[in-house]
Amino acid sequence: MGKRIGMEVGIAAAEAVALCNIDVAAVYPITPQSHIAEHMADIIHDGRIDAEFITVESEHSSISACAGASATGARVYTATSSQGLMLMHEILPIVSAMRLPVVMGNANRAVSGPLNIWNDHTDIMPQRDSGWICLFTENGQEVIDLSIMAFKIAEDPEVMLPTVVNIDGFQLTHMIEPLEFPTQAQVNKFLPDRKPFATLHPDNPMTMGCFNMPDVFTETMKAKDTALRNSKKTIVKVFNEWGKQFGRKYNVVETYKAKDAETLILTMGSMGETASIAVDELRKAGKKVGLVKLRLWRPFPVDELRAAIKGCKTLIVMDRAISFGGAGGPVATEIKSLLFHDKGRPRIVDFLMGLGGRDVTVEDFIAMVERAKKKKDETYEYYGVRE
Amino acid sequence: MAKKKTEQKKWPEKWHEVTPGCMVFEPGNAANYKTGSWKAQRPVLDTKKCIKCGMCYIFCPEACIQEDAEGFFQADLGYCKGCGICAHECWPGAIAMVEEEE
Amino acid sequence: MNTVQNFEIFAPKLVDRKEYFSAGHRACQGCGEVLALRLLLKALGEDVVVANATGCMEIISTAYPQTAWLHPYIHVAFENAAAVGSGVEAGLKALRRKGKIADRDVKTIAIAGDGGTADIGLQALSGAMERGHDMIFFCLDNEAYMNTGIQRSSATPFMAATTTSPAGEAIPGQRTGKKNVPEIMVAHKVPYVATACPSYPIDLINKVKKAKAVKGPAYIHIFSMCPTGWRCASEITVKLGRLVVETGVFPLYEVENGKYRITMEIPEKLRPVGDYLKPQGRFRHLSPSNIETIQGRVNREWEILLNKVECMQPW
Is 60 exceeded by the pLDDT of residue B4? no
Asked if C35 has any chain B CB less than 8 Å from its own CB, the reply is yes
- The whole-number average pLDDT for the span A172-181 is 97
- The whole-number average pLDDT for the span A186-191 is 97
**Cβ C35–B61 below 8 Å, yes or no?**
yes
| Residue A109 placed within a domain | yes
| Partner B, chain C 132-191, Cβ-Cβ below 8 Å | none
Q: Domains of chain C, with CATH numbers?
A: 25-311 (3.40.50.970)
Report how many domains make up chain B. 1
Q: What is the pLDDT of residue C4?
A: 46
Is 80 exceeded by the pLDDT of residue A125? yes
Asked if B48 has any chain A CB less than 8 Å from its own CB, the reply is no
Q: Which residue of C has its CA nearest to B60?
A: C35
CA distance B12 to chain A (A): 8
What's the whole-model pTM score?
0.95
**Cβ B33–C26 below 8 Å, yes or no?**
yes
| Residue B11 placed within a domain | no
- A103, A236: one domain: yes
Handedness of CA A278, A284, A285, A291 (dihedral sign): positive
- The whole-number average pLDDT for the span A75-91 is 98
| Residue B74 placed within a domain | yes
| Residue B63 placed within a domain | yes
| Residue A157 placed within a domain | yes
* CATH number, domain containing residue A75: 3.40.50.970
Q: What is the pLDDT of residue B1?
A: 41
- A14, A116: one domain: yes
> Which chains would you list as touching C if contact means 3+ CB atom pairs under 8 Å?
A, B
**Cβ C88–A69 below 8 Å, yes or no?**
yes
| Residue B55 placed within a domain | yes
Q: What is the pLDDT of residue C7?
A: 47
Task: Quote the domain boundaries for residue B43.
Answer: 36-99
**Cβ B11–A198 below 8 Å, yes or no?**
no
C-alpha to C-alpha distance for C87 and C195, rounded to whole angstroms: 25
Asked if B61 has any chain A CB less than 8 Å from its own CB, the reply is no
Is 80 exceeded by the pLDDT of residue A140? yes
* CATH number, domain containing residue B87: 3.30.70.20
Report how many domains make up chain A. 2
* CATH number, domain containing residue A316: 3.40.50.920
- A9, A158: one domain: yes
- Long-range pairs, B7-13, Cβ under 8 A, ≥24: B8/B32, B8/C65, B11/A213, B11/A215, B11/A216, B11/C64, B11/C65, B12/A216, B12/A219, B12/C65
| Residue A311 placed within a domain | yes
Q: What is the pLDDT of residue C121?
A: 97
Q: Is this prediction's ipTM beyond 0.90?
A: yes
CA distance B17 to chain A (A): 9
Q: What is the pLDDT of residue C8?
A: 41
Is 50 exceeded by the pLDDT of residue A373? yes
pLDDT tens-digit readout, A289-318: 999 999 999 999 999 999 999 999 999 999
| Partner B, chain A 68-107, Cβ-Cβ below 8 Å | 97-100
Q: What is the pLDDT along chain C (315 residues), one digit of tens a residue?
A: 334 444 445 678 888 899 999 999 999 999 999 999 999 999 999 999 999 999 999 999 999 999 999 999 999 999 999 999 999 999 999 999 999 999 999 999 999 999 999 999 999 999 999 999 999 999 999 999 999 999 999 999 999 999 999 999 999 999 999 999 999 999 999 999 999 999 999 999 999 999 999 999 999 999 999 999 999 999 999 999 999 999 999 999 999 999 999 999 888 899 999 999 999 999 999 999 999 999 999 999 999 999 999 999 999
> Which chains would you list as touching A if contact means 3+ CB atom pairs under 8 Å?
B, C
- Who among B33, B62, B73 is closest to C66 (CB)? B33
Interface test with C, best of A64, A75, A78, A212 (most C CBs within 10 A): A64
Average pLDDT of chain A to the nearest whole number: 97
Asked if B16 has any chain A CB less than 8 Å from its own CB, the reply is yes
Q: What is the pLDDT of residue B9?
A: 56
Is 90 exceeded by the pLDDT of residue A364? yes
- Who among C70, C92, C130 is closest to A205 (CB)? C70
- A277, A323: one domain: yes
| Residue A146 placed within a domain | yes
Is 70 exceeded by the pLDDT of residue A32? yes
Asked if C205 has any chain B CB less than 8 Å from its own CB, the reply is no
Task: Quote the domain boundaries for residue A146.
Answer: 4-246
**Cβ C91–A216 below 8 Å, yes or no?**
no
| Residue B17 placed within a domain | no
- A204, A145: one domain: yes
Q: Looking at beta carbons, which residues of chain C come within 8 Å of A207?
A: 62, 67, 69, 72-74
Q: What is the pLDDT of residue A206?
A: 97
**Cβ C67–B2 below 8 Å, yes or no?**
no
Identify the burial level of B12 via C-beta atoms within 10 angstroms of its C-beta, where 0-12 means exposed, 13-18 middle and 19 or more buried. Answer: middle
In sequence order, which residues have a C-beta less than 8 Å from that of residue A344 and are 6 or more positions away?
none
Q: What is the pLDDT of residue C14?
A: 82
| Residue B19 placed within a domain | no
| Residue B20 placed within a domain | no
pLDDT tens-digit readout, B33-84: 999 999 999 999 999 999 999 999 999 999 999 999 999 999 999 999 999 9
Q: What is the pLDDT of residue B102?
A: 64
C-alpha to C-alpha distance for C21 and B3, rounded to whole angstroms: 11
C-alpha to C-alpha distance for A18 and C259, rounded to whole angstroms: 43
Asked if A218 has any chain B CB less than 8 Å from its own CB, the reply is yes
Beta strand pairing call for A133-136 and A296-298: antiparallel
Is 60 exceeded by the pLDDT of residue B3? no
3-state helix/strand/coil string of chain C: CCCCCCCCCCCHHHCCCCCCECCCCCCCCCCHHHHHHHHHHHHHCCCEEEEECCCHHHHCCCECCCCCECCCEEECCCCCHHHHHHHHHHHHHHHHHCCCCCCCCCEEEEEEEHHHHHHCCHHHHHHHHHHCCCEEEEEEECCCECCCCCECCCCCCCCCCECCECECCCCECCCCCCCCHHHHHHHCCCCEEEEECCCCHHHHHHHHHHHHHCCCCEEEEEECCCHHHHCCCHHHHHHHHHHHHHCCCCCCEEEECCEEEECCCCCCCCCCCHHHHCCCHHHCCCCHHHHHHHHHHHHHHHHHHHHHHHHCCCC
**Cβ A202–C71 below 8 Å, yes or no?**
yes
**Cβ C127–A202 below 8 Å, yes or no?**
no
- A227, A92: one domain: yes
How far, rounded to the nearest angstrom, does the alpha carbon of residue C307 sit from its chain's CA centroid? 23
- A123, A257: one domain: no
- A241, A279: one domain: no
- A101, A137: one domain: yes
Asked if C86 has any chain A CB less than 8 Å from its own CB, the reply is yes
**Which of A209, A230, A246 is at the close of a domain?**
A246
**Which of A199, A224, A246 is at the close of a domain?**
A246
- A26, A87: one domain: yes
**Nearest by Cα to A355 from A324, A315, A385:** A385
| Partner C, chain A 170-229, Cβ-Cβ below 8 Å | 193, 199-213, 216, 220
Q: Looking at beta carbons, which residues of chain A come within 8 Å of B23?
A: 198, 206-208, 210
Handedness of CA C242, C244, C249, C251 (dihedral sign): negative
pLDDT band for position B11 (cuts 50, 70, 90): low
C-alpha to C-alpha distance for A41 and A26, rounded to whole angstroms: 10
Asked if C76 has any chain B CB less than 8 Å from its own CB, the reply is no
Asked if C262 has any chain A CB less than 8 Å from its own CB, the reply is no
| Residue A387 placed within a domain | no
Q: What is the pLDDT of residue B10?
A: 60
Q: Which residue of B has its CA nearest to C64?
A: B22
